[in-house]
Structure 1
Amino acid sequence: MTLTTIIIGFVALAAGILMGLLFSRSSLNTKAKFIIEDAKKNAENIIENSNVKAESVRKEKEAQAKVKFLELKSQHDTEIQNREKKIQEIEKRIRDKEQKLNDELSKTGKLEKDLDRQIADYAKKHEILERKQEELETITTQKVEILEKLSHYTAEEAKAELVEAMKAEAKTRAQAHVQEIMEEAQLNAKSEARKIVIQTIQRIGTEQAIENSVSVFNIESDEIKGRIIGREGRNIRALEAATGVEIIVDDTPEAILLSCFDPVRREVARLSLHRLVTDGRIHPARIEEVVEKTRKQIEEEIIEVGKRTIIDLGVHGLHPELVKIIGRMKYRSSYGQNLLQHSREVANIAATMAAELGLNVKLAKRAGLLHDIGKVPEQESELPHALLGMQWAEKYGENAEVVNAIGAHHDEVEMTSLLSPLIQVADGISGARPGARRQVLESYIQRLKDLESTAMSFDGVSSAYAIQAGRELRVMVESGKVTDEQSHQLSYDISEKIQNELTYPGQVKVTVIRETRAVNIAR
């Protein structure tokens, strides 16, 4: 602002001078001269005022600069003081740490001296101990030589005999201890286990339909037999070729026998015969047409049976192929026990036991229903039914616990969850209860002989008898060869061998009987 005023003053002065020159050149009048003088005076006044204001501004700025300088100097001094204070604190901490380090070094030096002294003492004691050990070995060798002379045994022979004696004693004691533990565990668990199993059987146990490999087709009169046979046997040959079932027409009054080990084929043949006899038109072309229609009807019925079964049991989300397999179970049997009814019973038993034990009831029921699906393959398979069923369940996306329960219910694979032994027990309960299954006489007798021969293979057994339809094995032992303690071990060994080598429904109780007889004759 001051510079602008000065410039304006100079401009006015120059204008005045210029005007004066112009007026003097043009011989202006005296009034112009006065104007020039006034302009000069005004310019001088402006310059003087400008100088005064500039001096005032300069002094003001100098004062502000001094104040600012003092403030900055004060801040700098404060920062210097704070920094010095921090440096002093850091120096103090360093001195403290140095002092502590010196103290620790002093303690370490003392500990090293103590350690050196202890090492020296240990070396002396170790040297004394080695001398004592040498003296002890010398004395022991002398005593062993004296004992060998007195007993006529070498040290190795005596050691071996002592080890054998100790092993026999330890085995006897261990078996007695194991027996005590097992009896104690049975006292605590037997009552509750019996309660759960009995309640489950009471809730779930149902009658089972006994099926065989022969069906009887009843007719109104024997005249129909001739129509079924046809001219030169054409009709019956066409029917057997279409169904795969052997049709037996004999002297049995008002009955025709259908023989086939495949219940589905047998049912197709029975329904086809019923339709043909009802319709009255029996000839090869008509037979093929009716058999095909009946086969489709059976397939639809299989699917419907599977759906109805899973709805009744409350099992959801099964793959359609598994539903179809469940439906085929209706036409399969195992030891005369209908497979679908058996699977439903196992599912309910497993669900009830799972509820009692606090396990997953839905998974238990699902695994129980599917555990025997490997028994109904459409084509023959070399795999055991448990492994085949496990493969199917895994293929169709079943839970890992369900898959393992299916594969492990006959110990084909290792059990990996609590659900697997539960399904195995439920399967045993359903199949082993009285009246549930029918066995062929030859296989039944062979199983009893296998039980007895297994027991007779052990040393000291004089005789063995399978009783209670193979549920119990009575083993008689010679009292001179088997002691009371050894009889417990023998019972355990026989039961283990039966469990590992034989196949049987339910469980087998092994009872070892040892008696001592004293006989004298009075003459």
Structure 2
Amino acid sequence: MDTNTIIIIAALVGLAIGFAIAKFMEKGKASKTISSAKKEAATILKSAGIEGESIKKDKIFQAKEKFLELKAEHEKVIINKDKKIGEAEKRIRDKESQVSNELSKSKKLNDQLESKIKDVNHKSEFYEKKQAELEKLHKSQVQQLEVISGLSAEEAKGQLLESLKETAKSDAMAYAQSMMEEAKLTAEQDARKIVVQTIQRIGTEEAVENCVSVFNLESDDVKGRIIGREGRNIRALESATGVEIIVDDTPEAIILSCFDSVRREVARLSLHKLVTDGRIHPARIEEIVKKTEKQIEQEIVEVGKRTVIDLGIHGLHPELIRAVGRMKYRSSYGQNLLQHSREVAKLCGVMASELGLNSKVAKRAGLLHDIGKVPNTESEVETPHAILGMQWAEKYGEKPDVCNAIGAHHDEIEMKTLISPIVQVCDAISGARPGARRQVLDSYIQRLKDLEDIAFGFSGVQKAYAIQAGRELRVIVESEKVNDEKAAQLSFEISQKIQTDMTYPGQVKVTVIRETRAVNVAK
């Protein structure tokens, strides 16, 4: 072997020995690591077992506590249910005892009822026998009286009735009045049916405008002062104005009801002055009402003047101007009379100018064509309003063309000028347009006027007011001419007169008021 080969072999042997030594050293280290890891694993397992036991014990303890809580709650629920069941059983037992008591009472009442029925039957038989005996005795006594007096029963009745006629008359009126009051109580339902059947549909705004005014107040405290002690203020105001004053639950408002709008306006202005002044008593009320009536008369004249100026009409008599102003407070078939007359005047002016006629004369005739509808104490109610208006126009110096147009616009007289058919046509145009008129309201107002006229037909009547939409007629009589007994008789006679002469729905209450005043002056 050469040297190189020996060196190579020696190197290989050295490498092999080094590798073996390295492997042995690694094996020693690995065994140490494994043993230390086993020790750590054993320690970990031991501590884990201890923690597991501790956790197990805690969980078991918690489970026992939870079980005890659930058990206690369950016992509470069971106790409550037992308690409710016990209460229900107690209520049932009480009900059963009550039912048994009621049954026993009912049985006793039935027994008592049967015994009472028997007693009633027995008594009725006894009373029938007695009644028969009384009839026999009555007949025998009548026969004896006829023999003694020498008169028959019918002749005696006639003489007795003649002698007691005057007394029986007053008694009969009192009895009739009591029977009427009793009938009112039992006939309320029938009256409602009659009212419902006779109601017709009309616009609410028309009814409010023509029959009702609302007087607003600053507070409800003023209502008590307006009513006064025992209602004396409100009675004085109604008596002075002829307006029904309704004080109800409407907040801060009083309703004034009357078919005559002039009366309503007088009452409204009087109330305003009284509330503003603060002094409200009967004497003050009468003073304010008189002043207000004068104020209204002045306002009527001013309205008439403004109307004729607006329409360009000149030279109209002051009485005709006053009549035009009063149209503001009148209505015809639910249509305001002044607005209707102004409308007719304008239509007449336009139509006359289109036909080449005198438009001023046409306007004048159109404005005055309905003045006969304005009330006048000197006129007769039976006269047609067209003829009455023509008579007024002639009386106060109007031209023949205007007078003929006024009198002929409803064909009461013959038309003699071309202005007359123009006024008739324009009146029809204004009245026939949709919503212009309601005939029901006009007939209703006429019925209220007829009610008041019937009352004035009796002697001793000083004032008469139809109130409550015609359901009551309030009559004020003179205390010197009518005494208390005569007042009751007057109320009965007026009600009979209304019942005979008029047709109306429902009932009309007639109230006669007799008031005595003692007045002296201290000087």
Common fold: TM-score over 0.5 = no
Instruction: Give me the TM-score of the superposition, normalised by structure 2.
Output: 0.44
Instruction: Give me the TM-score of the superposition, normalised by structure 1.
Output: 0.44
